Amino acid sequence: MGYHCVVLVKQVPDTKRITGQAMNEDGTVNRAALPAIFNPEDLNALEMALDIKDTHGGSVTVVSMGLPAAADILRDALYRGADRAVLITDRRCAASDTLATSYILSCAVRRLEPDIVLCGRQAIDGDTAQVGPQTAEKLGLPQLTYVEQIQKLDGQTLVARRNLGNGWQEVKTTLPALLTVVDSANEPRVPRALRLMKYKSAKCRIEIEAMAKDAPSIDVEAVYAALESKGLLIHQWDLDYLEADLRWCGRDGSPTKVHRIQSVVLTAKESKAVEPTQQGIEAMVHELIEDHTIG
Amino acid sequence: MIEVNKQGEVWIFAEQHNGTLEEVSLELLSKGRELADTLKVSLAAVLLGSQVGGESERLGHFGADKVYLVEHPLLEHYQTNTYAKIICELIEKHKPQIVLYGASPCGRDLAPRVASAMKAGLTADCTDLQIGNHEIKKTGQVFENLLLQIRPAFGGNIIATIINYDRWPQMATVREGVMPMPTPNVNKKAQLIQEPAHLSLEDLAIEILAEHRQQRKVNLKASRVIVAGGAGVGSKENFKLIWDLAHCLGAAPGATRAAVDLGFIDRDHQIGQTGTTVRPILYIAAGISGAIQHQAGMSESQKIIAINNDPDAPIFNIAHYKIVGDLTQVIPMMIKAIKEKV
Ligand SMILES: Cc1cc2nc3c(=O)[nH]c(=O)nc-3n(C[C@H](O)[C@H](O)[C@H](O)COP(=O)(O)OP(=O)(O)OC[C@H]3O[C@@H](n4cnc5c(N)ncnc54)[C@H](O)[C@@H]3O)c2cc1C
Whether the CA torsion A275, A277, A282, A283 is positive or negative: it is negative
Cβ distance of B161 and A23 shorter than 8 Å: no
| Residue B217 forms contact with A (CB below 8 Å) | no
From the list B31, B75, B28, the residue with the least C-alpha distance to B198 is B75
Secondary structure class of A51 (helix, strand, coil): helix
Inter-chain CB proximity B155 and A18 less than 8 Å: yes
Residue to substitute from A131, A256, A258, interface B, most B β-carbons within 10 A: A256
d(Cα B216, Cα A245) in Å, to the nearest integer? 46
CB B283 within 8 A of CB B307: no
pLDDT range class, residue A213, cuts 50, 70, 90: very high
Q: Where are the domains of chain A?
A: 3-248
User: Any idea where the domains of chain B sit in the sequence?
Assistant: 10-203, 220-341
Beta bridge partners of B5: none
Measured distance CA(A139)–CA(A132) in Å, rounded = 11
Confidence (pLDDT) at A24: 65
Cα A273–chain centre separation: 45
CA distances, B98 to each of A48, B11, B190, B235 (Å): 37, 6, 19, 47
Residues 16-35 of B with CB under 8 A from A: none
Sheet with B282-286, side-by-side order of all strands: A272-274, B321-324, B303-308, B282-286, B225-229, B252-255
A188-199 pLDDT per residue, tens? 999 999 999 999
CA of A231 to the centre of ligand 1 (A): 46
pLDDT at residue A27 greater than cutoff 60 = no
Give the model confidence (pLDDT) of A35-82 as tens digits: 899 999 999 999 999 999 999 999 999 999 999 999 999 999 999 999
- What mean pLDDT is predicted for residues A172-178? 98
| Cβ of residue B177 closer than 8 Å to a chain A Cβ | no
Over residues A165-191, mean pLDDT: 96
> Ligand 1 pocket check: which of B235, B284, B308 to mutate, most ligand atoms within 8 Å of Cβ?
B308
Q: CATH assignment of B220-341, given 3.30.43.10, 3.20.20.10, 3.40.50.300, 3.40.50.1220?
A: 3.40.50.1220
| 8 Å CB contact between B301 and B295 | no
Cβ of A23 under 8 Å from any chain B Cβ? Answer: yes
- Residue pLDDT, tens place only, A94-111: 999 999 999 999 999 999
Residues A217 and A171 sit within 8 Å (Cβ to Cβ): no
As a whole number of angstroms, the distance between CA B160 and CA B173 comes to 14
Tens-place pLDDT, residues B138-195: 999 999 999 999 998 887 778 899 999 999 999 999 998 888 889 999 999 999 999 9
CATH class name, domain B10-203: alpha beta
A27 Rama sector, left if φ>0, alpha if ψ -120 to 50, beta otherwise? left
The alpha carbon of B337 is separated from its chain's Cα centroid by a whole number of angstroms, namely 35
Between A291 and A244, the higher pLDDT residue? A244
Average confidence score pLDDT of chain A: 93
Q: Is the minimum CB–CB distance between B186 and chain A shorter than 8 Å?
A: no
Alpha carbon B182 to its chain centroid, in Å, reads 13
A38: buried, middle or exposed (CB in 10 Å: 19+, 13-18, 0-12)?
A: buried
Q: Are strands A143-154 and A177-181 parallel, antiparallel or unpaired?
A: parallel
CA distances from B341 to A170, A281, A288, A290, B248 (A): 52, 12, 11, 11, 11
Domain A3-248 in CATH 2.160.10.10? The answer is no
Burial A176-211, CB ≥16 within 10 A → b, else e: bbbbbbbbebbebeebeeeeeeebeebbbbbbbeee
- Residues in A touching B212 (Cβ below 8 Å): 167-169
* Per-position pLDDT tens, chain B of length 342: 788 999 999 999 999 999 999 999 999 999 999 999 999 999 999 999 999 999 999 999 999 999 999 999 999 999 999 999 999 999 999 999 999 999 999 999 999 999 999 999 999 999 999 999 999 999 999 999 999 999 988 877 788 999 999 999 999 999 988 888 899 999 999 999 999 999 999 999 999 999 998 877 788 988 999 999 999 999 999 999 999 999 999 999 999 999 999 999 999 999 998 899 998 999 999 999 999 899 989 998 999 999 999 999 999 999 999 999 999 999 999 999 999 887
